[in-house]
Chain A
Amino acid sequence: MSAQNCFHCGLAIDENEEIHFDEKLFCCAGCKTVYEIFSSHDLTSYYDFQKSPGATPQDIKGKYDFLENEAILSKILEFQEGDTAIVSLNIPHIHCSSCIWILENLNRIQPGISISQVNFPEKKVRITYNSNIVSLKTIVYTLSSIGYEPYISLENYETGKSNIDRSLTYKLGVAFFCFGNIMLLSFPEYFEIKEFWLDNYKPFFRGLIFILALPSFLYSASGYYVSAYKSIKSGMLNIDIPIALGLIVMFIRSTYDIFMNYGSGFFDSLASLVFFMLLGKMFQIKTYSFLSFERDFKSYFPIAVTRINSDLSEESLPIYDVEKGNRLLIRNQELIPVDGILISESAEIDYSFVTGEAVPITKKSGDKIFAGGKQIGKIIEMEVLHSVSQSYLTQLWSNDIFQKNVDQKHKTITDAISRYFTPILLLIAFGGFGYWIFIDANTAFNVFTAVLIVACPCALALTAPFTFGNILRILGKQKLYLKNALVIEQLAKVNTIVFDKTGTITTNKKSNIAYEGKAISDEDFIFIKNTLRASNHPLSRMLYDFLPEEKKIKIDDFQEITGKGILASIGNKKIKIGSAKFVESAVTDALEIKRTSLHIEIDSLYYGKFVFENQYREGLEKLFATLNTDYQIKVLSGDNDGEKDHLEALLPKNIELIFNQKPEQKLDFIKKLQEKGQNVMMVGDGLNDAGALAQSNVGISISENVNVFSPACDVILDASQFSRLSYFLKLSRKAIFIIKMSFALSLLYNVIGLAFAVTGNLLPLVAAIIMPLSTITIVSFVTFMSNYFSNRKLNS
């Protein structure tokens, strides 16, 4: 065990703050408290499953007061009757088996809870409790006190019960059941030996097969008929038309054969077809249940805010009821839900959700503050200017792009092929029929149906699902999470890439801080570091963390002037740290104002400034240089052009840089590119990119922590993989290449099958061999190829 890491949360321990308790080391009182709670309830096995699994509990005083409001409570609860209540809470910290264990033993810490069950992939815990003994607020506080603070947002307001669509699982189950049984019953027919007892039992076997085929034909395959009908109605020929046609013809012909005693029919092929196609559908769906691709502002915004009434009483108010003129109270780390005017003296607002900007902005009394910012520091008061739906940021969601049905946006490669496939197929079928009708009417009928049966594009329909499904999983392992398989096709078609600047090509994890000015002596350096230590201003904290560790000295006098800076002294030495206005001796020019900096003055002598610069992501230059050869690249930024020169030097010459873009302007920019016929991929991160992400053909959201937040998009990319973007794009192009190759292969099977069909030789046994054979070879071919391409690219 390393002595330097906290027993509870695993963070490195600051030597001066370490706490010894029960022969263990802790980094802070918070972690120690959690340990105490666990040990007093005999729950220390928590630490056995995983080393240092915990999180430091945050201070949440007053944050969940709205849970006392009955109206809000009833919206959040999943079930409530009598004194039993059930609630599903989303807990982002769930990450290991220790988490599951402790959360499922909640009843030992908090009386009143009867059952708590964790759904690990969704990071949710479902708690059944007795509302007479314990309130939801108390449960939330208990959870927070052990480091598992639930995340309750406006999204929870509407949910209640969620309906999971399990119909595909049922359909697959039914199809498999029918397929298996029909196959068994068909075997005697395959070896059609003239034996007395076989002939005797034929009607029984065939009757059973017919009955077993019904559920598969009517229920499992029903999705194909609906889709085919819809596609005929909208005039677009998709792949489901030949499939549905093949299935129906197959069923009618087989029924006819059986009842007229002509033969055994094709029910075995029908059942296997339905089963394999549904299997392909299932394989294509790979859901990352812990991610959400549909998030809008609702998942960021709180469910309720605190309103200050005219008699100065405080009240929790559902967010939709906030009106213009209300006075709101915003606590530390709370989100500002509406546009308004700051009443308190000053505020530090972190807009990283919205813009990706890491450095908080200082606002003074009377300034306008926008929805989406997070207050850091003390409690502030504000007056509401617009209601939630009319605020600057949330207005974005009233744009048409968010109302559109996204499924209709694209035409898939399979549908493109089937536009030719269906007419040709019908032509061959009628051609065969026309030829044979003059020779033998009965054969003509057989040929016509056989063509439609054998050409049923089962292998064709399976190619794309299996290729995409496999690529989806490969990419998922490499931390690129796609919303669905269709996105891969879109990725392959992209020819223009638009990047957001702040938070996307820069990282908001750490700022790059540079010192400009006169050299500072070691003694003064210690002085600066210790002065910063006492300050709670976010910039001071960032600089403090950035500067190397120094020994601690006592500061005699310390004064923090809100919105300006710090004044401190040791002995007779005086120091001033703060904004350019505060440190009057600072030398600044026009360009300087656009940069975030802290100026230093010691004993009335100006030394210099610490400049907070954006830290660009690793591998950015190389990535842009690679992408530049194949794609048009543009950089959009909501910021001022303070970093223009720096960016121009860093990136290839022909890249367009556009600054001062509002969220709607970003959306319009993408739209204009699309009108010019470009396939645009937008790479962004914050809520201000949400419009552009939705408008673009492929919206990629970069996320430092995929479990936390990202606006609605098609793809979520883990920030650590940013530099591999060009590899992902290449792989998507390879996927399309693989599909085209296997299309050729499956068409070859169709030609062979058709040769049997048009000559009138398609026996049920031949069909039963060709169909599974083509399916299996296609599936193994695409799986092998996609693995091959992804591995080869990894090595090079």
Chain B
Amino acid sequence: MSVIYLLITVSIFVAIGFFIAFVIAVKSGQYDDDYTPSVRMLFDDETKFTSQNNESKTEEKQV
């Protein structure tokens, strides 16, 4: 029956792990602007490249 100690301890630690992830996310400012990222994630694929300018593709990835 002592497995319950283990299970609950593990479950609490998992929960604490998620909690820490949440704190880090808030601290890094992810909750300050909840609109722009939703638009930004749609951009990459839609960039048009003219044939003579292929190096801009790599530039784009650095952004």
CB distance from A180 to the nearest CB of B (A): 7
- Inter-subunit contact B63/A200 (CB<8 Å): no
Task: Determine the chain B residues whose CB is within 8 A of the CB of A169 once the complex forms.
Answer: 26, 31
**Would you give the shortest CB distance from B22 to chain A, in whole angstroms?**
5
Contact B33 A121 (CB under 8 A): yes
Nearest-Cβ distance from residue B6 to partner chain A, whole angstroms: 12
8 A Cβ contacts from A120-166 to B = 120-122, 164, 166
Are A120 and B35 in contact, with the CB atoms below 8 A? Answer: yes
CB-CB < 8 A to B49: which residues of A? Answer: 42
B43 to chain A, nearest CB (A): 6
| Chain B neighbourhood of A606, CB < 8 A | none
Which stretch of A55-63, A101-109, A255-263, A619-627 is in the interface? A101-109
Known: A104-B63, A105-B63, A204-B5. A164 touches B32 (CB 8 A): yes
Using known A-B contacts A119-B33, A177-B15, determine if residue A45 contacts B48 with beta carbons closer than 8 Å: yes
- Is B26 touching A173 in the complex (CB atoms < 8 A)? yes
User: Once the chains are docked, how many angstroms separate the CA of A193 from the CA of B21?
Assistant: 37
Chain A 199-220 interface 0/1 with B at a Cβ cutoff of 8 Å (1 = within): 0110010001000000000000
What is the CB-to-nearest-CB distance from B56 to chain A, in angstroms, rounded to a whole number?
A: 6
CA distance A185 to B19 in the complex (A): 18
Interface range, A side: 35 or more
Residue in chain B with minimal CB distance to A99:
B39
A509 CB to closest chain B CB (Å) equals: 29
Q: A100-B36, A166-B26, A204-B5 are in contact. Are A180 and B46 (CB under 8 A)?
A: no
User: Are the C-beta atoms of B15 and A121 separated by less than 8 Å?
Assistant: no
Chain A's interface: helix, strand, loop or mixed, by majority?
Answer: helix
Contact yes or no, A120 B36, CB < 8 A: yes
CB of A181 within 8 A of CB of B15, answer: yes
Residues of A within 8 A of B56 (CB): 42, 108
Interface pair B15/A180, CB less than 8 Å apart:
yes
A97 touches B23 (CB 8 A): no
The minimal Cβ–Cβ distance linking A79 to chain B, given in whole angstroms, is 15
Which A residue sits closest to B50, measured CB to CB? A42
Shortest distance in angstroms between B5's beta carbon and chain A's nearest beta carbon?
7
Q: Chain B residues near A201: list those with CB within 8 A.
A: 4
CA distance A115 to B29 in the complex (A): 17
Q: Establish whether residues B12 and A181, one from each chain, have CB atoms under 8 Å apart when the complex forms.
A: yes
Check if A197 is an interface residue, CB within 8 A of chain B: yes
Tell me the bound Cα distance from A121 to B36 in angstroms.
8
List B10-34 residues whose CB lies under 8 Å from chain A.
Answer: 11-12, 15, 19, 22-23, 26-27, 29, 31-34
Given contacts A42-B56, A118-B36, A170-B26, A48 and B48 within 8 Å (CB-CB) = yes
Note all chain A residues with C-beta closer than 8 A to B5. Answer: 204
* CA gap between A180 and B53 in the complex, in Å: 54
Q: Would you give the shortest CB distance from A376 to chain B, in whole angstroms?
A: 35
Determine if A44 is an interface residue (Cβ-Cβ < 8 Å). yes
Cβ-neighbour of A45 out of B26, B33, B47, B63 (below 8 A): B47
Q: Which residues from chain B sit less than 8 Å from chain A, CB to CB?
A: 1, 4-5, 8, 11-12, 15, 19, 22-23, 26-27, 29, 31-36, 39-40, 42-43, 46-50, 53, 56, 59-60, 63
Task: Beyond the given A173-B22, A204-B4, please list 17 additional residue pairs across the A-B interface where CB-CB is below 8 A.
Answer: A42-B48, A45-B47, A48-B46, A48-B48, A97-B39, A97-B42, A104-B63, A115-B63, A119-B32, A120-B39, A121-B36, A166-B26, A170-B26, A173-B23, A177-B15, A185-B8, A204-B8
5 tightest CB-CB pairs across the interface, nearest first? A120-B36, A119-B33, A97-B39, A177-B19, A120-B35
